[in-house]
């Protein structure tokens, strides 16, 4: 019989956060005592709360850039929280959280959601001096964290390959949903309904460079490819054939997706895509949606090869959607098979043992 651990999840971004909550349930379901510390926790993404306690620790822009006063304050708060929780395992989500156990000498598992030292340049333009400063600073921090972490968890094979140059215990846990997120996702009959593409993301500028969907709504207005449902853009207004839901809770999003034929990842190609393992692709699949995405998202393409179609540019996307919309009932009939594949292969629950193994290190 295994001994229950006291696990502290530490995040600079706070809650809600699907990945933090999914990881917390990996040990909570095993009987561990699970706690959280972060700057905010007003609500959750998942339908149930895995945390026994939640404590505030105030990350901010100054601390993320190494400001001495903010860093000293963070270290004091972290020392107080660890004295109260007395964790056996610290699960540090992303770079800024992981710096705290590095400085205090605590053992910890580093969960890298983003690959910060690379992503900062993906956000920036070529002459962005602030981004260059962040890159140099965060590369130094990343080297420290990877060298000190007892184990490293990350989201994609491409990131894992690079982290293994600096850490001997690197595990990949993809951004799949947990069973509790999708068990109530029913597939309504879409036969005879207007062909609908869903996109979870932002269609209004400014765009993150590697999530650039500029021109997507114009393409739907110009081409006869059905309607577009956009979930999560607070600025976009409904204007047929565009339907905008604005921001909605995570579980509401799953219900909205289940009423769509396909799920889009309509980003213009970018070099950072090789590191991405986009969670919306797997949420689409659990909602029965065929995934239609830019071809540069290599990890997703390898993970669901039979249930995704790729395109090179928006002209290619329009051609794909034109063909699919002409076969809308056929696509609707595939939804059950896509969801069945997702339930068998695309579940975080299958990776609980990987999280447990990382903790053993």
* Beta-carbon count within 10 A of 194 CB: 11
Helix axes 116-123, 129-148, angle to 10 degrees: 170
Residue with tokens 């690959």: 115
d(C-alpha 168, C-alpha 11), whole Å: 23
CATH superfamily label, 180-345: Glycogen Phosphorylase B; (3.40.50.2000)
Q: Do the domains spanning 6-176+348-360 and 180-345 agree at the CATH topology level?
A: yes
Phi-psi region of 212 (alpha: psi -120 to 50; beta: other; left: phi over 0): beta
In order along its 361 residues, the chain shows pLDDT tens digits of 567 999 999 999 999 999 999 999 999 999 999 999 999 999 999 999 999 999 999 999 899 888 999 999 999 999 999 999 999 999 999 999 999 999 899 999 999 998 988 888 777 766 678 888 888 999 999 999 999 999 999 999 999 999 999 999 999 999 999 999 998 889 999 988 999 999 999 999 999 999 999 999 999 999 999 999 999 999 999 999 999 999 999 999 999 999 999 999 999 999 999 999 999 999 999 999 999 999 999 999 999 999 999 999 999 999 999 999 999 999 999 999 999 999 999 999 999 999 999 999 8
Q: What DSSP designation does 247 have?
A: S
Quick one: pLDDT at residue 121? 79
d(C-alpha 231, C-alpha 248), whole Å: 7
How big is the CA angle at 115 (ends 162 and 352), to the nearest 5 degrees? 85
Quick one: pLDDT at residue 183? 87
Quick one: pLDDT at residue 248? 95
Query: Where in the chain are the domains?
Result: 6-176+348-360, 180-345
Quick one: pLDDT at residue 127? 65
Q: 137-164 burial by CB neighbour count: b if 16+ within 10 A, else e?
A: bbeebbebbbebbbbbbbbbbbbbebbe
Query: Strand 242-246 to strand 89-93: parallel, antiparallel, or no bridges (unpaired)?
Result: unpaired
Quick one: pLDDT at residue 128? 77
Mean pLDDT for the chain overall = 95
SS3 250: helix
Are 146 and 115 in contact by the 8 Å Cβ rule? The answer is no
Quick one: pLDDT at residue 2? 67
d(C-alpha 257, C-alpha 262), whole Å: 8
What are phi and psi for residue 62, nearest 5 degrees? -65, -45
d(C-alpha 245, C-alpha 201), whole Å: 11
CA 56, chain centre distance (Å): 23
Quick one: pLDDT at residue 1? 52
Positions of E strands within 213-261: 227-231, 242-246
Positions of E strands within 295-353: 308-311
* Beta-carbon count within 10 A of 17 CB: 22
Q: What is the pTM of this model?
A: 0.93
d(C-alpha 9, C-alpha 55), whole Å: 10
The CATH label, of 3.40.50.2000, 3.30.830.10, 3.30.70.360, 3.30.2020.30, for the domain at 6-176+348-360 is 3.40.50.2000
């Amino acid at each position: 019989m295994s001994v229950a651990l006291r696990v502290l999840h530490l995040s600079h971004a706070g809650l809600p956060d699907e990945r933090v909550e999914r990881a917390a349930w990996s040990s909570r379901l095993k009987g561990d005592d699970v706690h959280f510390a972060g700057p905010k926790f007003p609500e959750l993404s998942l339908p149930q709360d895995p945390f026994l306690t939640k404590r505030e620790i105030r990350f901010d822009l100054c601390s993320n850039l190494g400001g001495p006063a903010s860093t000293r304050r963070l270290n004091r708060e972290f020392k107080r929280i660890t004295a109260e929780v007395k964790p056996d395992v610290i699960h540090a989500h992303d770079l800024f959280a992981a710096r705290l156990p590095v400085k205090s000498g605590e053992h910890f598992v580093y969960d890298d959601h983003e690959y910060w030292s690379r992503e900062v340049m993906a956000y920036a333009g070529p002459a962005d001096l602030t981004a260059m400063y962040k890159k140099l600073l965060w590369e130094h921090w990343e080297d420290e964290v990877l060298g000190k972490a007892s184990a490293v968890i990350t989201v994609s094979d491409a990131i894992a390959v690079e982290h293994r140059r600096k850490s001997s215990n690197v595990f990949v846990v993809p951004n799949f949903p947990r069973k509790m997120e999708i068990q109530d996702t029913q597939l309504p009959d879409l036969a005879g309904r207007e062909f609908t593409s869903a996109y979870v993301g932002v269609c209004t500028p400014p765009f993150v460079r590697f999530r650039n969907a500029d021109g997507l709504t114009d393409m739907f207005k110009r081409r006869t490819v059905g309607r577009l449902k956009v979930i999560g853009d607070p600025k976009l207004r409904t204007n047929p054939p565009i339907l905008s839901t604005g921001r909605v809770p995570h579980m509401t999003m799953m219900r909205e997706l289940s009423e769509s034929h396909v799920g889009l990842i309509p980003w213009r190609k970018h070099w950072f895509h090789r590191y991405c393992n986009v969670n919306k692709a797997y949420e689409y699949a659990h909602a029965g949606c065929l995934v239609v995405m830019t071809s540069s998202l290599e990890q997703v393409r390898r993970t669901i090869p039979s249930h995704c179609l790729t395109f090179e540019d928006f002209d290619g996307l329009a051609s794909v959607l034109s063909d699919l919309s002409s076969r809308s009932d056929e696509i609707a009939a595939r939804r059950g098979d896509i969801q069945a594949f997702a339930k068998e292969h695309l579940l975080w629950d299958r990776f609980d043992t990987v999280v447990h193994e990382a903790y053993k290190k």
